[in-house]
Amino acid sequence: MQVKYLPEKHIRDSALCLLAKYGERFGPVERPPIPVEEILEAHLELQLGFDDLAKRLGVPDVLGATWVRDRRVLIDQSLDPTQHPLKEGRYRFTVAHEIGHWELHRHVYQADANQPSLFDGPDKPSIVCRARSGKDRQEWQADTFSGDLLMPEDMVYLAWEERFGSLEPYVAVDEIADLSAKWGLGEDDHKPTVAAARELARVFQVSGQAMQIRLAELGLICTQVPPPDLFSRPGTIVRS
Amino acid sequence: MPGNPEFGKRIRGLREARKKTDPSFSLRRFAQTVGISATYLSKVETCEFPPPASDKIKRMAQLLGEDPDELLALAGKFDPALSEIIREQPKALADFLRTARDRQLTDEDIEELTRQIREKK
């Protein structure tokens, strides 16, 4: 289903507003990690569960699915962190992603629920999220929401400053090149995660990859050589 | 393996009621405190898997503030401590239980007897 365009600021505000509302009810969340399961289960009062989703839905690589009318979210059991602790980051990102669908897209499906389709079985989820599917607008919005909720901007800046003593960005080009050479990665592979991203990932309980993407978005890690800037001193980068 | 609908629905209902005021009753945290995986708890609650072992059910009852014997009974189990109690006085207690069964005592009859025993000096 095609959802409408949302500015990034709208998505970020939705995530922060949800966190604030959770805080009003259960006590403020001042430090990471963000309690995403508690937000989904206790605050939004959705039912969370685990299942073999590929088997249940008959499509491969499903990470999560949301049944809007039943207020139910299922996560693929391969991500259960009580059985697979290394999947913790990926699991939490998927939970936050499904919360993103609930916050940003549920009204589309609630409206649609009044027009039952002949082709929909009773157990058909409203939204199915797959690992390798091309990211359409709806999936992109949920991913953005997930990043904003798990790694709120202010908390990331604060954590960075606490750890590294200033908000000076880290130009990670050399470290990435070294790691890529060590692991034999090519230009088209995912960029390896640098030590600073891995360290903060533990604080926010997200994957190193997600943390690195967030740090790059916020201008704290530069994964490419910054272009020369006439208005800044050599060797410094001005964040817009 | 078939699940147990009465038990699964009861646990989910109790946990969901508690979690509205206390987030520690989330699926994962509750499962971890009980000592089972989140997937297993999820499937017990949706009646796909059978209830867990008696000691886990007793722990669930303790956390949810429910009578452990009632939850154990729903799961078709009983407190494993009972076997120990019978083992301590095997002849007399076996005789006592068989008599109660042969006389077809109702729950009320047994509760009345229990009360009388409690009051006995």
What one-character-per-residue DSSP string does chain A give? -------HHHHHHHHHHHHHHHHHHH----SSSP-HHHIIIIIS--EEEEE-HHHHHS-TTEEEEEETTTTEEEEEGGG-TTT-GGGHHHHHHHHHHHHHHHHHHHHHHHHHTTS--TT--TT--SEEEESSS---HHHHHHHHHHHHHHS-HHHHHHHHHHHHSS---EE-HHHHHHHHHHHT--TTSPPPPPHHHHHHHHHHTS-HHHHHHHHHHTTSEESSPPPP-TTS-TT-----
Q: Do B32 and A82 touch (CB under 8 A)?
A: yes
Same domain, A108 and A191: no
Among candidate residues B89, B1, B13, B90, the one with its CA nearest the CA of residue B51: B1
Q: Quick one: A80 and A133 in the same domain?
A: yes
Of A49, A81, A83, Cβ closest to residue B46? A49
The three-class DSSP label of residue B27 is: helix
In a domain, A169, yes or no: yes
Residues 6+ apart with CB under 8 A from B64: B11, B14, B15, B18
Answer with the one of A93, A116, A150 that is the final residue of a domain: A150
Distance CA A84, CA A71 (A): 26
In terms of CA atoms, which chain B residue is nearest residue A23?
Answer: B23
Q: Are residues A181 and A123 in the same domain?
A: no
Contact check, Cβ <8 Å, B43/A37? no
If asked whether residues A104 and A30 sit together in one domain, one would say yes
Note whether residue A1 is domain-resident: no
Q: List, edge to edge, every strand of the sheet that includes A72-76.
A: A47-51, A72-76, A62-67, A127-130
| A62 and A158 within one domain | no
Residues paired with A48 in a beta bridge: A73
Residues A96, A37 share a domain: yes
How many other C-beta atoms are found inside a 10 Å radius of the C-beta of residue A163? 11
B88: which 2 tokens?
């301590």
CA A176-A177-A181 angle, to 5 degrees, is 115
**A chain contacts of residue B37, beta-carbon cutoff 8 Å:** 80, 82-83
Question: What pLDDT is attached to residue A229?
Answer: 63
Query: Do residues A145 and A171 both lie within one domain?
Result: no
Amino acid identity of residue A9, one-letter, is: K
Q: Do A140 and A158 reside in the same domain of the chain?
A: no
Both A143 and A193 in a single domain? Answer: no
* pLDDT tens, chain A, 240 aa long: 678 899 999 999 999 999 999 999 999 999 999 999 999 999 999 999 999 999 999 888 999 999 999 999 999 999 999 999 999 999 999 999 999 999 999 988 877 655 444 444 557 888 888 876 667 898 999 999 999 999 999 999 999 999 999 888 888 888 888 888 888 777 766 778 899 999 999 999 999 999 999 999 999 998 877 666 655 555 554 444
The torsion angles phi and psi of B105, rounded to 5 degrees, stand at -65, 140
Rounded mean pLDDT, B25-39? 97
The chain B residues in contact with chain A (CB within 8 A) are 12, 16, 19-20, 22-23, 25-29, 31-32, 37-39, 42-43, 45-46
| Residues on chain B touching A45 (C-beta within 8 angstroms) | 16, 20
CB contact under 8 A, A80 and B39: yes
Same domain, A33 and A80: yes
Is A240 inside a domain boundary?
A: no
Q: What is residue A177's predicted lDDT score, i.e. its pLDDT? A: 85
Cα dist from A4 to A98, A106, A107, B19, whole Å: 18, 13, 12, 34
Do A218 and A141 lie in a common domain?
Answer: no
pLDDT value for A119: 40
CA distance A130 to chain B (A): 19
The contact set of A with B (CB < 8 A) is 26, 35, 37-38, 41-43, 45, 47-51, 77, 80-83
Q: Is residue A227 part of a domain?
A: no
Q: Is the confidence at residue B79, as pLDDT, over 90?
A: no
Per-residue pLDDT at A113: 58
Mean pLDDT of the region B21-25? 93
Which two tokens mark A143?
Answer: 């991913």
Q: Last residue of a domain, which of A150, A165, A184?
A: A150
Which H, E and C letters describe A135-198, residue by residue?
A: CCHHHHHHHHHHHHHHCCHHHHHHHHHHHHCCCCCEECHHHHHHHHHHHCCCCCCCCCCCHHHH
Tell me the two tokens of residue A51: 């299942």
Residue A230 lies in a domain: no
Q: What is the pTM of this model?
A: 0.86
Domain assignment present for A232: no
- The number of distinct structural domains making up chain A is 2
pLDDT tens per residue across span B94-107: 999 999 999 999 98
Q: How far apart are CA A213 and CA A121, in angstroms?
A: 38
Q: What is the pLDDT of residue A181?
A: 82
Cα A31–A37–A39 angle (5° rounding)? Answer: 70
Q: Show which of A87, A120, A150 is a domain's final residue.
A: A150
CATH number at residue A85: 1.10.10.2910
Quick one: A42 and A100 in the same domain?
A: yes
ipTM over 0.85: no
Q: Is residue A239 part of a domain?
A: no
What range does the domain containing A189 cover?
A: 154-222
Tokens 């954590």 correspond to A159
The pLDDT score that the predictor gives to residue A118 is 40
Please check whether residue A132 lies inside any domain of the structure.
yes
